[in-house]
Structure formats: structure tokens, C-alpha cells
Amino acid sequence: MSSVDDDRRHIALLYDRFDAERAAAERELVAAQRGSGSSPGERALREVAVRVQTMRLGRLRAGGDGLCFGRTDAVDGTRTFVGRLGLLDEDLEPMLIDWRAPAARAFYTATAARPEGLVRRRHFRTRGRAVLDAHDDVLSREGADGSAGADAALLAALDAPRTGPMRDIVATIQAEQDEIIRLGHTGPTVIEGGPGTGKTAVALHRVAYLLYTHPQLARRGVLVLGPHPRFLEYISAVLPSLGETDVVFATPGELLPGLATGREDDPDAARVKGSLAMVDVLAAAVADRQEVPAEPIAVELDDVTVEITAELAAAARERAVAGGLRHNEARPVFAAAVLDALAEQAVDRIGAGWLAPREVPELAADLRADARAELGGSPQLHAAVDALWPELTPQRLLADLFTSPERLAVAAAALPPADRAVLSRADGADWTVADVPLLDEAAELLGPQAAARSRRVRARRRAAEGLGYAADVLRLLDTEPADDDEIRAADLVGADLLAERQEEVDHRTIAERAAADREWVYGHVVVDEAQELSDMDWRVLVRRCPTRSFTVVGDLAQRRSAAGARSWAAALDRHAPGRWTHRVLTVGYRTPAEIMAVAADVLAAHAPGATPPEAARSTGVRPWARRVQPDELEAAVREEVDGDGSVAVIAPSPFPDVPGATVLTPREAKGLEFDTVLLVEPQRMDAADLYVALTRATQRLGVLHSERLPASLHRLVPRRGHQVPARSSTTGANCSRNEPLTLT
């Protein structure tokens, strides 16, 4: 068995190779950016070269910290070093295996019972480029030497302080997690698990694996949807640390470019707005804006006055609707039909009583042409068309609908009166999170406005002209066969995208372009806290990723939204019948056994039959509760913040700032973790929020309350005054629950 010093020397060689590759990538990127050429082909080649080197450099920059984190020793003596990316030596022999490669899988899945041809797995503990120490997992009798147990690396990571953003878990992926990460299924994959099971980390590592094995997904980028901005900030470093940077992070209130909202409706309004009944309501609201006049609308010409009657407008509307175009796109058809009918009306009225222009085709044609020209410039006609078939934005459609009892009565006639009533809003009120999918649905029904349509037509014309040439360029670039690890041009940019760039190069990143384009189609979408999404939210996501390449993360037991999913089948069967798969994580890595026992009681009361995660470790620190007078609560919270590691104060409603702690509501705490959590007035939280709040702590949990606690919290240890609980260094898997205690 080689020593750690031998490994340090090998890892130093890896860094030498890594630095050389990064320097080469930097030189090649600069050369590509400086490339000259004015023809479409030269610009296309330069753009592909820049894209290739940018991706290569991004991966190399991401892999520098903790480049190599492990090693496997096979029965035949082969040693394989595993790290964040793959490196080859000058002879193209592997020096370091990418953690996503098939050759690295045994590092995560081998056990003493099933060693998979290995005798030893070595974990390196690193800081920057320095190897601090290492420990071994012995996987067979041949390799037994009394070294550390199989859980040492994991337990060390779990006991580490929670400071800063979420870290990747490439060094400590567990077998049940690895199976999900490497799942070949490309349809919707549901990763369900209780608090602290690592489902978010697994989902993000699954994205990195999918982009490694299906690089064509990368050219369309990845959307990561999370419950709130703080959560997205917390997880935002994981994918870049794995070399994936073409990622858009958004909350459900940010899925419409130009709008960002975190404002929530009351539960009844959220339920109604999230239901599929709103699809019909919005379609009816659009149809209601395609009007016929109650009284004829006069349009004055030089020689005659013509009228837009109900019959004329109805015929024009029928013609516009028959084309199958969306509302704004059909507006010119309606306007043209009205103009045609008015021109014919003008011909008849001009000749009435003194000539018969219909009997003289040439005369009729001249009169018709004159009338059409005059009508085309008529302010009265333009105003009439605007009134009968207005060009609408989604915001205007919804604002007009929700502020008008009359329009609501028409569009939402099928809804129960109570549901219809909760849709009303004050004029000028802020948009809510539940409004965003309605605005997106409205955008789909309305189509783009005239200016946007003109820009799109010009862009499509340019793209069509260059598409054939761009395809030829890509075929030329991909003529030579590529190695497995080599990036091919067609993996990075399709002919359609390349053709668009021939006219004008867009220097924005994929993530920047995707975030600004409502109609952008993503290669993959991660949906975290998916149990909170409504049926209308899912329609938005399917439009963003029609291939249904989703990683869906959630826990039905934590659902708090009245419009959220009650089962995964209810959420997904409609969009991907027979195409989605479901995996469950059962081991809780965040929450120690002592805290999980308390949370399990709450879960049993809240969701009978639900199974809590099995805690992977015990800290020996029992959760406590302290009762104080209401006017002493704030001072008691400040007193309990001892500054040891990260601390969160979670309260049912906004609470004053506490020095040394992060103050959150249960909703704001979703997905986050802290060394210590102080729970304030839990008796005022609903069961779902309480379950979430209880499971944010990785080490210590305390409860401060001014009223009697619910019976489900009977395991908390009562105490008086400020006491710093001693922290035990003992750890172990699947520890038993504490004995119940009675609280007063």
C-alpha cells in the first residue's frame, strides 16, 4: 500500500498537468477571440472556437480546488485516482478519472459486502491544493489493516460547520445517491426524500452527470427552479464548482422576463389561480376582448360615411379566428377583414341613387382602391379596431380582467361564485407569485405584439438564409472522428443557432440569453420543492422544456401550498404519462437522530403513514425547550445565540433582527441548513411549517415559547434560563429515539 506522501507527489503532478491544460485553454481562447474574418463562415468558425474554449476553460477553472479527492485500489493492483475532472498524460493515459465517468462508479458504490473488485478506497482530506491527510475504507480481507471505518469521510463532512453556500458532495456521494445521479432516464425523474436526505445535492449532481453524458443538453442551458432567492443563493455555487456554468436560477415568481415577485396570495386565491380551470378562464378572457359593437360605429370618408355593424364585425372576427392565429397575431387579419368590408360598403354607398358602379367593374375597382387608401389612414377606423380587437399585453389582459366584475363574470362564469370573487384585485396592485403562470399562459394565448413580431420575422429570415451554410460548416467541423472526451462542434451549437449568429454575434452567455427570453427552450430543468407547484406552474415549465427532461425534487409531507401537489402522479401524468420515474432517498444526513425523533412525532401527527428519514448519525445533544413570558421572548432569543457556528432563528412571523443569527420564517428557511436553530413560538406554526423548521439544524435545536407547546413536541427537554448544552463527539448510524418527556 502506498503512503500518503506518495499520493501527495502524484497529486502534485496532477496539478502540474492541470495548470498546463488551463494555460493552454486560456491561450487558445484569446486566440479565438482575436480571430479575424468577415465572411459568415469565418465568423461561424470563430464563434464555435470561442464556445469550445470557453467551456473547456470553465471546467478547468472549476476543478482546481480539491482536484483529486479519492483513490481506489483494485484486486489486480490497479490504482485509480478520482477527482472533479479527467486528466490525461502526454501519452493520453489517464492520470485522473472524472467522478462522472463509469470507471469512477466503484468509488461510490463498493462496500465490504460487494467490493466490486476493489480492496481499498482512500479518501483525501484537502484544503486548496494541499492534502492534509487521508483515511481508507477497507473493502476486503486482503486489504484489512485496521484503518478507519467506511463512514469516516461522510461523518466528517456531516459534522463540519455549515458556513457559506452549499458545497458539492462529489467526495462523499453515497450508494443510494449515486444510483439516482447516474440514472439513465432522461424523462422526468422524481427524487423524493425527507428533510436532510440530500435530495437537492443529488439533483444538482445529476445535472452535472447528464451534461457530461449528454453534452447536447448543455447548448440549451439548465434552469434551476427554487422556492425563494435565499435558497437559490445558497445552492448557486454547486453547479459552477462542478464545471457547469450555463445555468439560470429562478423562483416561480421570476419565470417571466421583466417581472420578479415574491408576494403571495392568500391560500384561497392561490388555490384558484393554480387550478387548470384558469386555462379556460384566460381563453374566455381573450375571446371576450374580440368584440362586436353594440351600436354601429361610424367611419367618415370624404364622400360617404360607412359603418362597422355588429354583423360586419362578427364576420371579420370569424375570419380572423378561422386562421388559428393567436390574438395579437390575428389582429391584422381582423383589421384587414373590416377594411375590406368597409371598402365594399363605401363603393355601394358612393354610387347609391345616381350610378351603378357594380355594373362598371373598372369604376368599382377605382372607387374601392380610393376607399381602401382613405380607410387605411382613418383615425376613426384605427380607434374602432383598437376597441374591438385591442393589441394586448399579458399584464393588461389580467389587470383588466381582475379589476372588472363584468369581465370576470363573463370569463369566469364556470367558476363557483366564491372562487370567482377571490380573483378580484385592486387596480394597480402588485403581481403575485400565483399570477406569474397566468401571465405566462396569457402570453401564450395572445402571442407577441406587432413590434416583436417584426423583429422575429427579420431574425427568422436571416436565419433561414444562413441555415444551409451553417449546416455545411458544422459538417465540415465534425468530419474528423472525435475521442470520447473531445468536445464536438455539433455538441455545442446547432445549425439554427449558428445561422442566427452569422448576421450578428450575441456575446451574452447562454444563461443570460435564456433568462431574457420567455420562449427559450432549456436542455434540462431542475424543480426543487416541487410539491409546492400548482398545475399552472407545471404548464409554464413544460413550455420551457418540451422534452420533459426534468429532475423533480420534493417531499409531499412538506407541502404547504393549497395549490401544490398531493401526489406525483397528479402533477406529472398529465404532461409525461408513462415517462416519469420515481426514486426515494431514505437516509437523513443533515438532521441528527435526537432532532429527527422530535420531527418524526410532528410528521406522524401531520401526515399519518409518512415515513421520516433514518438519521445517519447522533450528536448526543438533545433538543430543549424553554418557556418565557411574552415580553421576555426577544431577550431570551438573544441570550441563547452563543455564536458557535451558523445560527438561525425561525419564527412564524417576522421577528426582530438578532445579532449573530439569521432570522427567517419557515418558508424562508426551506432548503437551508444551520449548525444551530432556535425555534420561536412553534405552537403558532401549522404542522407543515413546523416540520420544516424543526429539520433545519445539523447539530443543535432549541425552542423558545410563551404558550403551551403542542403534544407532538413532547420529546423536547425542558430547561430554565440559559444553558449551553454540551456537544458530544460520538457519532453513529440509525440511532434510537430519546425517551419522551412531558412539557408544561
Distance, in Å, from the CA atom of 74 to the CA atom of 350, rounded to the nearest integer, reads 98
The residues near 295 (Cβ < 8 Å, ≥ 6 apart) are none
**Which candidate, 238, 225, 236, 243, places its Cα nearest to that of 58?**
243
Residue type, 45: L
Count CA atoms within 13 Å of residue 492 on its CB side: 20
The binding site comprises: 193-200
Distance, in Å, from the CA atom of 469 to the CA atom of 472, rounded to the nearest integer, reads 5
User: What are the angstrom distances between the C-alpha of 269 and each of 2, 464, 563, 685?
Assistant: 65, 45, 9, 21
Residues in the chain: 744
User: What are the angstrom distances between the C-alpha of 420 and each of 193, 287, 401, 413, 500?
Assistant: 36, 18, 11, 8, 45
Q: 243: which 3 cell numbers? A: 464545471
Check: CB of residue 341 under 8 Å from CB of residue 347: no
Residue carrying C-alpha cell 493552454: 24
User: What are the angstrom distances between the C-alpha of 9 and each of 87, 618, 710?
Assistant: 16, 37, 59
Distance, in Å, from the CA atom of 702 to the CA atom of 675, rounded to the nearest integer, reads 12
503 CB burial (10 A radius; 0-12, 13-18, 19+): middle
Q: 540: which 3 cell numbers? A: 409554464
The binding site for ATP comprises: 193-200
Three-class DSSP category at 631:
helix
Check: CB of residue 539 under 8 Å from CB of residue 437: yes
Write a three-state SS string for 585-636: ECEECCCCHHHHHHHHHHHHHHCCCCCCCEECCCCCCCCEEEECCHHHHHHH
CB neighbours (10 Å) of residue 188? 25
